[in-house]
Chains A and B, each alone.
Chain A
Amino acid sequence: MTATTTPYDRDALLDRHAGAVRHTVRGSRAAIACLMLVLAYLIYAWFAFDIPRLIATAEPQRAVLLATDSVVHKVHVTKGLRNPGFEVAVEGERTATYETPPPWVEADANAEQVFIDLGDGYTVSIDGTQVTMTGPETEPIRVTPGEDGVSIAYSGDKPDWVREGYNVQTESLVKFDARPTIDKRVQVTRSKIEVHRYFFGWEHFFFPFDSELHGRSPGDLVDLAFSDERLDPEQSNLSLMFDTFWHNKEWQHRAVAIALLETVLMAVLGTFTAAFVGLPLAFAAAHTFNKVGVVRFALRRLFDFLRGIDMLIWSLIFIRAFGLGPLTGALAIAFTDTGTLGKLFSEALENIDKNQVEGVQATGANRWQRYRFGVIPQILPVFVSQGLYYLESNMRSATVIGALGAGGIGLMLVETMRTSRDWENTLYIIILTILLVVAMDAVSGWLRRRLIQG
């Protein structure tokens, strides 16, 4: 490469070939100008979105909390002070209360003396109404709930994992909230003492706590399924298991399955309807098949109108008219995509090969036979591949339309997220939604390969 005899002089070279490099130089300048514009826009957007305030107010610990809470379940130990009572319950559910407390909770008959082992050296003991919390590196903290608040006595410094809640009006201390690690929490107010301990896993996923199937090992369950001894004389063990699982109140498997089905129905019905309504309209909108310009123009504008109104607006109108349900979503998708698919198909129809149609005509075929054997085989690949592509994308749209209020898994997701009580339910729905979308992509990809090649 360095075999040239004259030394390389860049500027001289550029001068000599100014004409040849001119458009490249101009292109580079244009590119730099474009990049500067984009950069300027992004700087504007940074302030338009008020990113500095957003960073200040973001709560990243909520992400950690959410991530933790979605893979664990917590057990509440609650001692009521205003309404006396003592219970140990999974997620504080009345239906999931322990008859005898688990080994890490020791309580006497009237729950006057309670000792709770929170693990990692943290313990809580309750004597009457007085709570004493100790940790491996923390001196005992004594919390006493009274008539108008709580009083806290630290033996050493106040640890940074303790939060004190004040009543703004009376400025009295009303809440003690300690969370030394993410899986332990102690809260004391004047009305109750509540201790949470977190355990890994989704509790009661298969069978609810109050069912007799709860807490059995998998091997035990398999034995039970094939044994003749019926737990419930009304039905076989297998159907009892399914029944208990299906009607699990906490996880609502049945409701989730119905919501998923609704979403699938929305996407499939909407796309199919759009494709089958769009195809004949596309014929009438293509200049190769329709000589009446007015009709073509009107149909083109109809397609633009249907697309332009957009799925959001169609859904809102249909939700008003048809209420909650898959029909609403299906019609919203069908209306929008009739426009899109009609436009695509009519463009495909205008670009078909005339020779094939003429060949069929030469054999004496009539109008319908020409369409059937000359045109349809040419646009079938476009029809199938675009139809399936829109099916995939509508699967995602159906979840969003659902969230707007049409129902299905989208609405369920928004609702469980808004109540934000049990994140494991939300995670369960998210996993199922993603699986559904991925499965739909796979099925449509497989169908596309089969139908277009075969």
Chain B
Amino acid sequence: MTSLTYSSDQHASIVAQEQRRRLYSFLTIAVVAIIMVSGYTEAESMNSGGFMHGLRQFFDYPGDVIEEAWAAGWAFWGIVWRFIPALIETLNIAATATILGGLFATIFAFLSTRNLDVWPPLIPVSRRLMDIMRAFPELILALFLIFVLGASSVPAMIAVAFHTVGALGKLFSEVNENIDRRPVEGLQAVGAGWLQRLRFGVLPQVLPNYTSYFLMRFEINVRASAILGFVGAGGLGAELRRTIGWGSGEETAALLLLLFLSIMIIDQVSGMVRRSLVSGNLLARKVLV
């Protein structure tokens, strides 16, 4: 952009570049369209029930469930109340898994961050370990542990925690990478040890983001524990499988309502806390006063 007039060469190259870019965009869109169309055709033919047939039945099941719940009248809320222990169990799975996972994730994150003066050879090792933990499907671990430990909530808890270490560890270590080094150097200059530098130089910087990611993970883990319950590990999911197989519509409706409400409430509350954390209203103000 040094001269105001383009030479014809420049112009030609810009046009060529633009044309190539358009070709690539077109190709990408074409590939995606082909995948979508052929994929849905293939999926339709592999499915045991067809799309159009299923569409007509789509509202049948939710309709039945709601109808039965409606027919139960006030007794429905009694059923909801009966399933509160199952809800607590699911929340316990999620909370314990998030706490334990978060604890190990913090350790792994500190071991895998370049600017925190840890022993360098450990960095790639802990990063690969986190990759493995993140990639390993929760379902497989849960099924394996159910086989060894018997059907209870603990296999689901361990499986969710295992995945959490990998997922949170990666996010935490990214937070660590982005800290301001100056407070740490300042503390080092006055003779602070490694733990002291961590406590006064690093933790105040990373804690708001850590808490925010932690809460976000808790939301995800509530959903994951409900799902894993369904394959044999206690809580709402296990009850849901029982009622869908054997129970009545109003029980299913009660469980679905509980699950929906708790997910909504947890999402809203944690969303509020996270927004105030990121905008710095919750912690930062106290520090400034």
Contacts and interface: CB of A to CB of B under 8 A. Distances in A.
Interface of A: 1, 23-24, 26-27, 38, 41-42, 45, 48-51, 54, 57-60, 62-63, 66, 258, 262, 265-266, 268-269, 272-273, 276, 304, 307-313, 316-318, 320-328, 330, 396, 399-400, 403-404, 410, 413-414, 417, 420, 430, 433-434, 437-438, 441
A426 to B, nearest CB: 9
A325 B46 contact: yes
A175 B55 CA distance: 56
Given A269-B36, A322-B51, A330-B39, 8 more contacts: A23-B289, A48-B92, A58-B149, A272-B32, A272-B35, A313-B256, A316-B240, A322-B54
Contacts of A42: 96, 99-100
B9 interface: no
Interface stretch (B67-75, B108-116, B133-141, B173-181): B133-141
Interface string B36-52: 10011011101111110
B95 interface: yes
21 contacts: A49-B152, A50-B152, A62-B147, A268-B35, A269-B35, A304-B267, A308-B263, A308-B264, A313-B260, A316-B240, A321-B49, A321-B54, A322-B48, A325-B46, A325-B49, A327-B54, A400-B138, A413-B143, A433-B140, A434-B140, A438-B135
Instruction: Find the residue from A42, A266, A276, A308 having the highest chain B CB count within 10 A.
Output: A308
Interface in B193-227: 200, 204, 223, 226-227
Contacts of B96: 41-42, 45, 49
Interface residues of B, number: 64
Instruction: Find the residue from A62, A262, A320 having the highest chain B CB count within 10 A.
Output: A320
A206 B42 CA distance: 28
A27 B287 CA distance: 9
Contacts of B289: 23
B134 to A, nearest CB: 8
B62 interface: yes
B155 to A, nearest CB: 9
Nearest to B283: A27
B46 A400 contact: no
Contacts of B42: 265, 326
A289 B200 CA distance: 45
A323 B48 contact: yes
Contact of B231 (A66, A258, A404): A404
A321 B61 contact: yes
B54 A399 contact: no
Contacts of B149: 54, 58-59
Interface string B83-97: 000000100100110
B154 A54 contact: yes
Given A58-B150, A309-B260, A317 B36 contact: no
A42 B35 CA distance: 48
Instruction: Find the residue from B40, B57, B237, B240 having the highest chain A CB count within 10 A.
Output: B40
B165 to A, nearest CB: 15
A399 B139 contact: yes
Given A304-B264, A308-B263, A313-B259, A437 B152 contact: no
B191 interface: yes
Contacts of B244: 316
A266 B244 CA distance: 23
Contacts of A414: 143, 231
A328 B147 CA distance: 28
Contacts of B139: 396, 399-400, 403, 410, 413
A403 B241 CA distance: 12
Interface string B141-157: 00110011110111001
A312 B147 contact: no
Given A325-B46, A327-B46, A268 B226 contact: no
B97 to A, nearest CB: 10
A157 to B, nearest CB: 31
Contacts of B43: 262, 265-266, 269, 325-327, 330
Nearest to A454: B24
B104 interface: no
A268 B228 CA distance: 22
Contacts of A420: 147
Contacts of B35: 268-269, 272
**Closest 9 A-B residue pairs measured CB to CB?**
A325-B47, A323-B49, A323-B48, A322-B54, A327-B47, A320-B61, A326-B43, A327-B43, A321-B54
B263 A310 contact: yes
Given A49-B157, A310-B259, A62 B148 contact: yes
Contacts of A45: 92, 95-96
B39 A265 contact: yes
B286 interface: yes
A430 B40 contact: no
Interface string B234-262: 00010010001000000000001001100
A320 B157 contact: no
Contact of A312 (B32, B57, B226): B226
A324 B47 CA distance: 6
Contact of A323 (B54, B240, B267): B54
Contacts of A310: 223, 226, 259-260, 263
Given A54-B152, A328-B47, A399 B227 contact: no
Given A42-B99, A310-B226, A320 B57 contact: yes
B230 interface: yes
Given A310-B226, A325-B48, A23 B150 contact: no
Nearest to A53: B152
Contact of A41 (B46, B95, B148): B95
B185 interface: no
A399 B39 contact: no
